[in-house]
Structure 1
């Protein structure tokens, strides 16, 4: 099953690939050795990776790479295709087999066992709802709640003056804990959160429209394709935030006025 790639626990558990701000990561050591070797051998430096390409690469990593993306989407695709070809009962069988295989692939790739179990549980819940309703489109009812939850989370974060994007991205970007006091970072996270709120709202509305229209194939396409779109949004926010951190920290914060002791 496809899950939203921007849940807080999914985001915070993947700090490793990006290193930790202010410390040298293994990737940094490897880069130093490679640079020295190129200088000794007189080889040219490799072309610098653009921010857009870096964001795309990180987005693909965020959904597990091509293999991880295929494993995550296979149960949904198998269910919809089999339902169209052989009916709902056969679709349940195809879903069960594919979900178990997908979990096996995740475990073989040394992903978190919790993620593999969660995939099975989500598939079971969606299948149960579809079985009770007796129609394929009901398979997508549980996952329709997710964009609504994100709309609510974005709205609450704005009311608390802590944009959700900052809560999810700032630690990975190496930003300071008091990032709301840094105008540049706060602006980046506010804009990103507004974009995320718009995406989540549109996601929910589109799902409702095609659910009412009884189009499980379209619902499957939305469920398969949108996680990568949200992952791109997350990755672009991370790239921009990391580029902004240095400039933001270089600007001194306004000092508090001295108390009047008279």
Structure 2
């Protein structure tokens, strides 16, 4: 899923009834990191609802951001979902700079090179700080391909062509996973949060992550429906604005909806685990299918 990069909370704790989403919740600072969950203990975590001890940080010890972060939080943070201030800047600045320069100069070459330069600087800054490069590398690949394409054709809209291709491919993959009854969000979330490592055997979890996958299908379909006609019309300024508006803000909205689904599932699973410990209760197992 495109989305800017790319994959945090300060605490895991056992889930309680999910509180109302609070966009102003204080986020943890740090770069994006690889997915979470220690391999030891997913089964116990799933039964008790407790997050793995290292779920809040990645391999480099830096707090997580993006979907990997918000899945561990008991209060939703828009800033974490959008990658924190640095992630937001790295995601928005190349497109914004290209758009501003193109509107002022109408020079595709100057605008495209400036966009590439911004991503390269961000990459070098992370290298110097020995931070994760995953989010920046994805952005660099897309911007460089788009810049080369735009310079060769002389069409500013071609800078956005790789993003449209990525959106289309992601949409197809999500649809295939849904048709195969193995929703992609279930796989992704199980890798990010070991508490639901057994999601494929739990009908309740399969239903939740099927709906979560449908949310992201809607996100990528909306992007294509709005941006593809603008690309075909060569409306560079409108396409750039649409990309900015439908990028991180819409991803944060989709992440919030998925977070609500995920937290509600964890609460139900914990309730079932507690009931199974009562005298005379049946052994714990997956929830019955509806």
Partner of 2:205: 185
Deviation per residue, 1:196-252 (Å, 9 max, x gap): 112211211211111123222222223223332224423442343144135236263
Distance 1:165 1:130, change over 3 A: same
Distance 1:120 1:23, change over 3 A: closer
Contact 1:126 1:142 in 2 (8 A): yes
Partner of 1:130: 150
Higher helix share: 1
Query: In the aligned structure 2, how far is the partner of 1:217 from the partner of 1:177?
Result: 44
TM-score w.r.t. the length of structure 1 is 0.72
Query: How far has the Cα of 1:27 moved from its partner?
Result: 9.2
Deviation per residue, 1:166-186 (Å, 9 max, x gap): 111133343444423323212
**Are 1:222 and 2:242 matched, yes or no?**
yes
Gaps in structure 1 of 5+ consecutive residues: 29-50, 256-262
Aligned residues: 226
Gaps in structure 2 of 5+ consecutive residues: 8-31, 57-71, 273-283
**Are 1:25 and 2:53 matched, yes or no?**
yes
Query: What's the secondary structure of 1:79's corresponding residue?
Result: helix
Distance 1:152 1:68, change over 3 A: same
Query: How far has the Cα of 1:24 moved from its partner?
Result: 5.8
Q: Which has the larger radius of gyration?
A: 1
Deviation per residue, 1:117-153 (Å, 9 max, x gap): 4433322111011012111011111110122112211
Partner of 2:166: 146
Query: What's the secondary structure of 1:15's corresponding residue?
Result: coil
Contact 2:112 2:159 in 1 (8 A): no
Partner of 1:234: 255
Contact 2:156 2:236 in 1 (8 A): yes
Query: Which is worse superposed, 233-242 or 215-224?
Result: 233-242
CA-atom RMSD in angstroms = 3.4
TM-score w.r.t. the length of structure 2 is 0.66
Query: How far has the Cα of 1:253 moved from its partner?
Result: 3.8
Among candidates 122, 133, 136, match of residue 102 of structure 1: 122
Partner of 1:252: 285
Distance 1:191 1:96, change over 3 A: closer
Partner of 1:61: 80
